[in-house]
Amino acid sequence: MLIILLPNYSFLLYLYFNFFTIATDKLYIDQLKDYFKDKENFETSDIVEFYSQSEPEVKTTTINWRIYSLVQSGVLNRIGRGKFAIGGNRNYTPEISHKIKLIHSKLIKEFPYLRICLWNTSSLNEFMIHQPGRFYLLIEVDKEAAQSVFFYLKENKFSVFIEPTRDLIEKYRPDEKETLIVKSLVSEAPLQTITRINLPTIEKMLVDIFCDDVIFAAQQGSEMRAIFNEALGKYTVNENRMLRYADRRRKKDSFREYLSSFR
Evaluate whether 181 touches 136 at the Cβ level (below 8 Å).
yes
Do 42 and 151 belong to one domain?
Answer: no
CA–CA separation, 58 and 198 (whole Å): 46
188 and 152 assigned to the same domain: yes
Regarding whether 199 and 130 lie in a shared domain, the answer is yes
Distance of CA 118 to the CA centre of its chain: 16
Q: Where are the alpha helices (DSSP H) in 116-251?
A: 146-155, 166-172, 202-211, 222-234, 239-248
> For 80-92, what is each residue's pLDDT tens digit?
778 888 877 678 9
Instruction: Tell me what the pLDDT averaged over the chain comes to.
Output: 86
Q: Strand 178-184 to strand 135-141: parallel, antiparallel, or no bridges (unpaired)? A: parallel
* pLDDT tens, residue by residue, 41-73: 899 999 999 999 989 988 988 898 888 888 767
Contact 237, 77 (CB under 8 A): no
> Domain boundary residue among 56, 86, 116?
86
Counted domains in the chain:
2
Residues 79, 148 within the same domain: no
- pLDDT confidence of residue 15: 39
pLDDT at 21 over 50: no
Say whether pLDDT at 189 is over 90: yes
- Tell whether 5 is covered by a domain: no
Burial class (CB in 10 A: 0-12, 13-18, 19+), 121: buried
249 shares a domain with 133:
yes
Cα–Cα distance between 112 and 106 in angstroms, integer? 10
Task: For residues 250 and 138, state if they share a domain.
Answer: yes
- Checking if the pLDDT of 148 tops 90, the result is yes
What's the pLDDT at 40? 81
Range of the domain at 27: 10-86
DSSP 121: G
Q: For residues 169 and 86, is the Cβ–Cβ distance under 8 A?
A: no
Determine the average pLDDT of the residues in 232-254. Answer: 91
* Poorest-pLDDT segment among 33-47, 65-79, 209-223: 65-79
List the end-to-end C-alpha distance of the chain, in Å, as a whole number: 68
Residues 46 and 154 in one domain: no
Residue 213 and residue 193 share a domain: yes
Indicate the DSSP class of residue 188: T
pLDDT at residue 11 tops 50: no
Q: Please tell me whether residues 78 and 131 are part of one structural domain.
A: no
Cβ neighbourhood burial of 253 (10 Å; 0-12, 13-18, 19+):
exposed
Residue 12: per-residue pLDDT: 41
The span from the CA of 198 to the CA of 139, in Å, is: 10
Q: What is the CATH number of the domain that holds 54?
A: 1.10.10.10
**Mean pLDDT confidence for 114-128:** 96
Between residues 16 and 210, the one the model is more confident about = 210
